[in-house]
Chains A and B, each alone.
Chain A
Amino acid sequence: MAKKPRVKVPKSAKKGEIIQVKTLFSHKMETGLRKDKKTGKLIPRKIINKFECLFNGKPVFSADIHPAVAANPYFAFNCRAEESGAFEFKWHEDGGKVITAKREMKVS
């Protein structure tokens, strides 16, 4: 059951204002340390290993994530609004898959 990533960015902000960006991504974050109860074999690791946020193509926030992070990783951070543009969020999954989301913000 694929759930959409949740992203919260203010639609508009004043120049110089400090805004908060919140993201919540639905993911099991399989650590690679658990065993399948029936077969006894290790379940392969599958986590989000990197989260990135770009604003107009420039990185504003980035985090490497490791297996100790719980399911459904939540990130919130502050940034200063300088110009209108688009936030781009990227979640890198083990195996190379990248899930993205975009949000526009107007700065006046």
Chain B
Amino acid sequence: MKMIKTIQVLGGALGLSFALVNIAGAGEPDLNDPRVQEYIVGDKWSGYLVNENETRDMQDDDFQNPAFLWVEQAQDQWSAIEGLSGKTCQSCHGHVDRSMKGVSTTYPKVKRGKLITVEHQINYCLTERMKAEPWKWESDKMLGMSALVRNQSRDMPVNVKIDGEAKPYYEKGREFYFKRRGALDLACTHCHVDNPGNKVRSEVLSLGMPNGFPTYRLKWQKLGSLHRRFRGCNKNIRAEPYKQGTPEYTALELYVMWRANGLPVESPSVRK
């Protein structure tokens, strides 16, 4: 009798552990796939892993990657006069491939007393140095220029600082990340820390790594900014989204960028 009970208990335990493994394994990306090794650093992995092979092909081939339509435009824009001061980007910075190499890996960072990201800096150059109108955050020009600048750091590790002046912004971003919000009462962490690799409806959750933005999303059928992605996440959990470029989202960008520290920059990536 005692033996039967033991067997039952054992069987129960086995069945349970089996079920758990099954749940955790649903749709989880294959970390041993040779194709994705450069997108894994330590226990961090990029959203490239949740892509299907066809989408990975699009990103791997610069020609096939539609984001480069925007990047090419930005390359022309780089040497085009904008604004009243008659300057181009090139007149201050020189060639983009030399001057912008590695620059975006440290953004967002504190400059002129506040936390800014690449898009803020582009608009600062436009309004202060070139005496031009600022570009809208989600405009083709801005997305292209942001992608062009970030593309110069491709394959270099993300390396944002969270100490010193950046510390209060990091804390703010961290608070945002852990705070429940919206009708579904979810925080960023519930999906991207507790459940990466698991499914939310039909989609596999990623770690929420921002190293590939601006990204060409097949759903959007165009290039889009990280802050647009934040808005999408916030809407999905039925929360009121903030506007692109607000201090809230910039602080959040610093926090998620810090999470991605060490992962290679992929901008402009292609995602589902």
Interface residues of A (CB under 8 A from B): 1, 3-4, 6, 8, 22, 24, 26, 28-29, 70-72, 74, 76
A22 to B222, CA, bound (A): 20
Taking a contact as CB atoms under 8 Å apart, the answer to whether A1 and B218 are in contact is: no
Q: Is the interface of A mostly helix, strand, loop or mixed?
A: loop
Bound form: Cα–Cα A76–B63 in Å: 11
Using CB atoms, name the residue of chain A closest to B67: A72
What are 25 contact pairs spanning A and B, CB under 8 A? A1-B140, A3-B69, A3-B70, A3-B73, A4-B72, A6-B63, A6-B68, A6-B69, A6-B72, A8-B63, A22-B63, A24-B66, A24-B69, A26-B66, A26-B69, A29-B221, A71-B66, A71-B221, A71-B222, A72-B66, A72-B69, A72-B221, A74-B64, A74-B66, A76-B64
Q: Name the A residues within 8 Å of B221 (CB-CB).
A: 28-29, 70-72
A24 CB contact (under 8 Å) in B64, B73, B141, B218 = B64
Complex Cα distance A19/B70, Å?
A: 27
A3-B69, A28-B221, A71-B222 are known; give 7 further A-B pairs, CB within 8 A: A1-B140, A6-B68, A6-B69, A6-B72, A24-B66, A72-B69, A76-B64
Residue of B nearest to A5 (CB): B69
- Closest B residue to A2 by CB, please name it: B73
Residue of B nearest to A8 (CB): B63
B75 CB → nearest A CB, Å: 11
Question: Count of B residues near A, CB < 8 Å?
Answer: 13
A-B residue pair count with CB separations less than 8 angstroms: 34
A70 with B64, Cβ < 8 A, contacts A1-B73, A3-B69, A26-B69 known: no
Most-contacted residue by chain B among A28, A29, A72 (CB, 10 A): A72
Find residues 209-231 in chain B having any chain A CB closer than 8 Å to their own CB: 218, 221-222
Q: How far is the CA of A26 from the CA of B72 in the complex (A)?
A: 12
Residue on B nearest A28 in the bound complex, by CB:
B221
Q: A26 — which chain B residues lie within 8 A by C-beta?
A: 66, 69
Residues of B within 8 A of A4 (CB): 72
- Chain B residue at smallest Cβ distance from A76: B64
A82 to B25, CA, bound (A): 52
Are A3 and B72 in contact, with the CB atoms below 8 A? Answer: yes
Shortest A103–chain B CB gap in Å is: 13
Report B-chain residues with C-beta under 8 Å of the C-beta of A24: 63-64, 66, 69
Tell me the minimal C-beta distance from B139 to chain A in angstroms. 9
Which residues of A have CB within 8 Å of B218?
A: 70
Chain A CB count within 10 A is highest, among B64, B68, B141, for B64
- Which residues does chain A contribute within 8 Å of B141, judged by CB atoms? 1
CA distance A28 to B222 in the complex (A): 9
Residue of A1, A22, A71 near B64 (CB, 8 A) is: A22
Residues of chain B with a CB closer than 8 A to A74's CB? 64, 66
A3 and B218 alpha carbons, distance in the complex (Å): 18
Residues of A within 8 A of B68 (CB): 6
Residues of B within 8 A of A72 (CB): 66, 69, 221
Contacts of A70 in B (CB 8 A): 218, 221
Which residues of B (124-180) have their CB < 8 Å from a CB of A? 140-141
Chain A residues, Cβ within 8 Å of B70: 3
- Which residues from 29 to 54 on chain B have a C-beta closer than 8 Å to any C-beta of chain A? none
Q: How far is the CB of B67 from chain A (nearest CB, A)?
A: 10
* A39 CB, nearest partner CB in chain B, Å: 22
Cα–Cα distance between A28 and B221 once the two chains are bound (Å): 8
